[in-house]
Amino acid sequence: MVRVVITGAGTICSIANRYDEVGPSMKKCVHGIGPVTLFPANTGHPVAEVKHLEAPDKKRFRTSLLAEKAMEDALSKTGALGNRTGVSFSTCTMGMLEMEQSFIALKNGHGSDLSFAKSLSAGSIANEISCRYGFSGPVASFSTACSSSANALACAFFWIRQGMCDAVVAGGSDSLCRLTYYGFQSLKVMSDTPCTPFDVNRKGMNIGEGAAVLLLESLESAKRRGSPVLAEVMGVGLSADAYHMSAPHPNGEGAYLAMKKALEEGSMSPEQVDYISAHGTGTRQNDVAESIAIGRLFANHCERMYVNSIKSYIGHTLGAAGAMAVVFALNSMEQGFIPPTIGLQEPDPECRVLHPPSSGTEARVETILINAFAFGGNNTTILLRKFHG
Amino acid sequence: MDKHRRIVITGIGVISSLGNDLASFSRHYLQGKLPEIQERTVVFLETAYLQKIMALPSWEDKSVPSAHRRRMSLLSRMIAVTAMQCLENANLEKEKWAQLGLVIGTGWGEQETVHKVIPQVILEESEMVPFPTLFHNSVHNASAGYLGMILQSQGPAITVSQEEHSFEAALENGMLLMDRGHSRAVLAGGADEFFDFAVLEERKSPFPADTISSGSCFFMLETEEDARERKARIYARCSFLPPGKLDESTIEEYSEEVKSSLAGGKSPDLALFTGPIDDRTEMLARSFLARIFPTPVPEIFYGSYPSRPTQGAERFLESLVMLESQSVPLQLKKDAGIDHPSGILLVCLTGSRQCRLFYLQQGEQ
């Protein structure tokens, strides 16, 4: 069996402009949630924006620029990659922000030179990456809403396990835009304060933006190239709720299946998991359903296994969320530190999981489960383990 | 590469400009019938554009429960209907639906829905939120969500959107799910709906020349073992060969990799090249084929740019029709000099010469 390891990680989000900045921000428990500045907003719902991101070229989409920054970061220490490198990427918003601006210009009688085809293409970023870096492996893009980048990672894992690639650049990128900002408001799930997942007084979610990129590699390739290994990917779990378009199954059926399958693929038992990076959006429906699923699968082990939500730091980065959670998880593993869910003061009694204390906790972090759930009842879980050679 | 499971196609569903079920599609394809084209005026904001589109035949969608149907976009309904056709055609027992894998390829996704949402969120003068149903229907995987609910399937549900390789990447993913043991059976397909933004694509002329289309094709993938056990009709065996890139610097290594994955198996009777193919690509493609197979393989180039990103799904279906019926359209017989293909190699290319290869072999042998 081909072992799959992570040998590079990069990110840009509201609290970090690169991977190395994530750990310190996490330890300081700072969040990057504040007012919208990217476009005029008529409501007071805060978001997690990436600051000081200047596009060198006005035709460059913000989502694509975010992806490029995370890519550069992820590959900054990895050395040259071989021909058999694939790209598995994800985005939901693509060039939506720029397209909205174009629509406004057209509506006001001005011209627009935006490439609508490119701005709408979920696959264009992956193609750009593959061409820019001269990779010859397969290219695929996933657009499954908030689980997109977790599915991109799952595909990368399959490609390497199956021997189709030696390495795969995998991740996701999404920028803020009016469509998602007002769209989530239409579902009445947006909080007017920084989100506090799992708190009994939570008000909902904040959307965010950013990009996260991981370099997955076969262990053999990593050894050949002398790459330092950040973690091993043990398994992935994929499932569907078959319940509702925008609400999770109330008992977390799909979430339970995804976590169970990931453990099965990794041949690991629930008792071996030290920490779950929850999807944890901060909506009651998600938090309760996810907690029920965790309780069902992990039973008494819930008393010893921490659960948190990084969305309290960087908001919900939608198509980038799954890969972003992996980036944070790698930092936790490296530092032996599990950050708290910021703002969690009074845990919801319906969410019977072990929350880290408010300043975080030093802990043994050998094995981490990462959850990413989405519209359409789409659920994906990634299982990571510290690499031991 | 790890050994693949033997995967077979046991069901087909189709809505296309050549027919809205397998029988009519097959008949029209083998007769060499050309799809009907109509002109349609699209009004985008205040400018009128004339767009040529391939006429989509009328189709019934009674198989989709009305509670879902009234909320779904045309794309989602096409996908649901072809998926149901496919399941019916495959005669797969209902108890197996719960663990089905669903893999949908779509290049344009729900852009027609996005087109309806955007005007609702760009009003600056007031607080305006879109209709919630429209919003959750605007994500590319809305169809997979609806289909999962209709089938009550809790298996993997993946939506791939990789431009002109959306279907091909979806099919590859479906086969990977089976290879990796995540699903025993997968519904995989490709679908796209003509959308109004498309008229603005790379052209600001009010009379764009390209003809575009809507359509959906789905295929039931099963392991050969399972299909034989339940005595299912097998349209073809399907293997995917290593994907790669066709360029001067990689062609030698890539063709060797493909050759070794075929492990001396029987050469195909026909190679079909799909995607945007210029002279340079055609030359590379011929050289690639010659390096893999010791004896010349008749080849056909579908050189035109696809009329929709998932046009490749129809090329895949055409190959299945040829293998199943043991006949080919007259023109193809003239061009390639074959009339009873038992093995077809589909070489699917993109503009940047990314290459995905599927080898289809006659099923009932």
pLDDT in tens, chain A (389 residues): 999 999 999 999 999 999 999 999 999 999 999 999 999 887 889 999 999 887 767 678 999 999 999 999 999 988 889 889 999 999 999 999 998 888 888 778 787 777 776 778 899 999 999 999 999 999 999 999 999 999 999 999 999 999 999 999 999 999 999 999 999 999 999 999 999 999 999 999 999 999 999 999 999 999 999 999 999 999 999 999 999 989 999 999 999 999 999 999 999 999 999 999 999 999 999 999 999 999 999 999 999 999 999 999 999 999 999 999 999 999 999 999 999 999 999 999 999 999 999 999 999 999 999 999 999 999 999 999 999 98
Using pLDDT thresholds of 50, 70 and 90, give the confidence band for residue B169. Answer: very high
Q: How far is CA A288 from CA A266, A280, A293, in A?
A: 26, 9, 9
Strand partners, B216: B15, B191
Q: What's the one-letter identity of residue B75?
A: L
Q: Indicate the angle between helix axes A19-28 and A321-335, nearest 10 degrees.
A: 70
pTM of the model: 0.96
Residue A332: alpha-carbon gap to chain centroid: 15
Question: Among A31, A45, A249, A279, which one carries the catalytic annotation?
Answer: A279
DSSP-H helix ranges across chain B: 22-31, 66-69, 74-90, 111-121, 132-137, 142-151, 166-179, 224-229, 251-262, 279-292, 312-325, 330-336
pLDDT at res. A110: 80
* B124: nearest CB among A40, A86, A243: A40
Check: complex ipTM more than 0.90: yes
Q: Is A279 an annotated catalytic residue?
A: yes
Q: Which residue has the higher pLDDT, B134 or A347?
A: A347
Using pLDDT thresholds of 50, 70 and 90, give the confidence band for residue B65. Answer: confident
- Kindly state whether A133 is in contact with chain B, defined as any CB-CB distance less than 8 angstroms: no
pLDDT at res. B37: 87
Instruction: Transcribe A69-135 into DSSP letters.
Output: HHHHHHHTTT----S-EEEEEE-SSTTHHHHHHHHHHHHTT------HHHHH-TTHHHHHHHHHHT-
State yes or no: pLDDT of B306 exceeds 70: no
Interface of B with A in 333-352 (CB under 8 A): 350, 352
Strand partners, A85: A167
- Kindly state whether A92 is in contact with chain B, defined as any CB-CB distance less than 8 angstroms: yes
Chain B neighbors of A138, CB-CB under 8 A: 169, 172, 243-244, 354, 356
- Kindly state whether B226 is in contact with chain A, defined as any CB-CB distance less than 8 angstroms: no
* B132: nearest CB among A127, A130, A186: A186
- Kindly state whether B102 is in contact with chain A, defined as any CB-CB distance less than 8 angstroms: yes
3-state SS of A316-359 is: ECHHHHHHHHHHHHHHHHHHCEECCCCCCCCECCCCCCECCCCC
Contact B16, B53 (CB under 8 A): no
Q: Does A144 sit within 8 Å of B157, measured CB to CB?
A: yes
Q: Is A146 an annotated catalytic residue?
A: yes
In this prediction, residues B277-288 reach a mean pLDDT of: 92
State yes or no: pLDDT of B201 exceeds 80: no
Using pLDDT thresholds of 50, 70 and 90, give the confidence band for residue B213. Answer: confident
pLDDT at res. B69: 83
State yes or no: pLDDT of B126 exceeds 70: no
How many residues belong to chain B? 365
Q: Does B254 sit within 8 Å of A161, measured CB to CB?
A: no
- Kindly state whether A141 is in contact with chain B, defined as any CB-CB distance less than 8 angstroms: yes
Q: Does A115 sit within 8 Å of B145, measured CB to CB?
A: no
State yes or no: pLDDT of B309 exceeds 90: no
In this prediction, residues B212-227 reach a mean pLDDT of: 95
State yes or no: pLDDT of B202 exceeds 50: no
pLDDT at res. B1: 44
Question: Among A13, A92, A146, A177, which one carries the catalytic annotation?
Answer: A146
* Residue in B17, B18, B218 with CA at minimum distance from that of residue B106: B218
pLDDT at res. B63: 79
Q: Does A378 sit within 8 Å of B45, measured CB to CB?
A: no
